[in-house]
Structure 1
Amino acid sequence: MLDFPNLLAEHSYLDLDIADEQNWTTLDRVAAVGTSPEVNRLVRLGANPHQEALPLRWKAIHQAVFHGNAGTFEALLPEYGSGAASMIDERGWTLLHIAASADHSDMIRRLLEMGSDPEAQSKPFNSHMPEVLHSRSCTPQEAAAAQSQERSSRYLGILQDLGLATGYVIVGEDGDVDEEAEFWEAQESLG
């Protein structure tokens, strides 16, 4: 039986970087809900993992993080190298901001182990984020807190487990600092 995608790619009939109405490429979709073998195959066939999708300038790895797809994240990671830990989107959000906001504990842990900065500040921005963060810079912890107190607590727990907690505050849904916030002593980073 013929391998249809390979046949199309060999004869230049397959353009994997064409975006659909939502501005997603085939690789974006597979990064979100597919498997690592599917990602590897698309990249071998010529899909561009560095193509950015508007409005946030997300690449396929952003979709993997947002959707909590650890398998496709790991498959894509070699395409971005050491820069993945500090990669930002249009808002100035790192992959850690995205994982914290989406509440993907395994992804948060992996990004921190890779060297993502838990203190990274986003740019002030007014769309594609909770309203409480509009026109404000935020850290990944604040991105989690803007979603819910539970997400913030889980994020802070991961920081504490990894020895990275350093006097974080809990920001309420109204944008005010929680006066009963927990603080932990600073620890050395994983570096």
Structure 2
Amino acid sequence: MGKIIGIDLGTTNSCVAVMEGGQPKVIPNAEGSDTTPSVVGFNPKTSERLVGAAAKRQAVAQPKNTVSSIKRFMGLPFADSSKEQHLVPYLVERGDKGGCNVNIMGKHYTPEEISAMVLTKMKESAEAYLGEKVTQAVITVPAYFNDAQRQATKDAGAIAGLEVMRIINEPTAAALAYGLDKKKDGTIAVFDFGGGTFD
């Protein structure tokens, strides 16, 4: 059985880690950074898809072809998305099942498909670091995520080729990581200062 990776699929940035020697080890991406922008860009001239820092760089020149903050639309009915739509430059439309779709150059993507592109980059970073195929992950979500948003996150993982073993609240993950090596009981306060949410 291969290693199970942990992924923080963030609104602004994402991060992947693995347990090594009883401690979580953050895995750098191909660019050498511990975090990867949760951004997917599409080049209108070449149809090339960019994920991470390269996509973030193209956002200045190609805002309508660059998807960021897609987490805001995960599991969200289109009818409830007007506030979020005003925060992004790309076109958000009603999907087949009443959810949100992103229209990039006439092609429609679900939030799960866009998130899967970011998750795939996280998976590839882990595979390069570990030197083995990765098929299982634990993914964090904001504590306020409802069942539909949690299921959408699991669906994104499946699209990326990952069996999502567990969906865990972001502040819970931080508390667990803090307490891994602690030998005595105590009370701590955990704040998750995210790019899109605060838990």
Higher relative contact order (CA 8 A, sep 6+): 2
TM-score norm. by structure 2 comes to 0.26
Higher alpha-carbon Rg: 1
TM-score of the superposed pair, with normalisation by structure 1: 0.26
Q: Which has the larger helix fraction?
A: 1
